[in-house]
Amino acid sequence: MRYTVGEAVSFVARRAMQKAARTARPGDNQTLWNLGKADERRFWRAWIDQQGMEWSDDFQQRLDPGAPFDDWVEQQAIDASITGPVLGVLDVGAGPVTCLGYRSPNWEIHITATDALGSDYAGLWRDAGRMPPVVTRPVPAEDLSAVSYMGPFDVVHMRNALDHCVSPVAAIEQMTQQVADGGVILLRHEVNEAENESYKGLHQWNLEPRGDNLHVWNKNVDVNLTGWLDERGFDCQTEALDIGGAPWVRNVVTRR
């Protein structure tokens, strides 16, 4: 079989990545994360180029600067009695564009979106000749101090991204440092995504509700995040629910 130069390079690159994945030491999260980045970029390039693929409604909502603010997040901010004309929101692991929406009858919404692949996403948008309403900053969840000058934030939010982190515990610790007194940390994740995805790409961790506790785990580590947060003066409410036939877990974290 003959290959073009591009196909040959792609083949060699895939073989190299497969070999590196096989030889990565158990628990070598940074190596596995580096190997998974290419898959993540490919997915989001297709999502942008094809305007959401089968999720076209999601694409349109994220790109609409008049889209209503997320109702669950808004209700949590109301329940926390957050006052003032502006609601400062840090969306961690936001991907190429935040999913939260932009307009609220209760506040002027100021969103700071971050993602470890923020620079990659900026390039994808430039290639597509478009820009999102809020540009995602190239900041990993484990180093949110890079945006601390913009905080503290009334709401720190993460959706389906903690399982992508090199260190979920470090990411949670960083989020606790960015939330304002009286503010809330909001997490929502599909349950056990690493297991569902066979530990491919960036899916290296599982989020799982066990009774009232939230656990983050993989084949090497199991951490009770609820207990970890409790030791540091934070309460973590855990809610298991079904979304579209899939099990999800939502968490509301507040400082005591």
| pLDDT tens readout for residues 160-207 | 999 999 999 999 999 999 999 999 999 999 999 999 999 988 889 999
DSSP notation for the chain = ----HHHHHHHHHHHHHHHHHHHSPTT-HHHHHHHHHHHHHHHHHHHHHTTTGGGHHHHHHHH-TTPBPPHHHHHHHHHTT--SSEEEEEEET-TTS-SS-SB-SS-EEEEEEEETTHHHHHHHHHHHT---SSPPEE--GGGGGGGGGG--EEEEEEES-GGG-S-HHHHHHHHHHHEEEEEEEEEEEETTHHHHTTT-TT---EEEEETTEEEEE-SS-EEEHHHHHHHTTEEEEEEEEEETTEEEEEEEEEE-
Predicted pLDDT at 201: 83
pLDDT confidence band for 38 (50 / 70 / 90): confident
Please give the pLDDT value at position 4: 37
Q: Tell me the average pLDDT across 77-83.
A: 97
The CATH number for 29-255, chosen from 2.60.40.10, 3.40.50.150, 3.40.50.720, 3.40.50.300, is 3.40.50.150
Domain boundaries, the chain: 29-255
At residue 246 the predicted structure's pLDDT band, cuts being 50, 70 and 90, is very high
Q: What are the CA-CA distances from residue 78 to residues 72, 109, 127, 158, 204 (Å)?
A: 10, 13, 39, 18, 34
| pTM of the predicted model as reported, rounded to 2 decimal places | 0.87
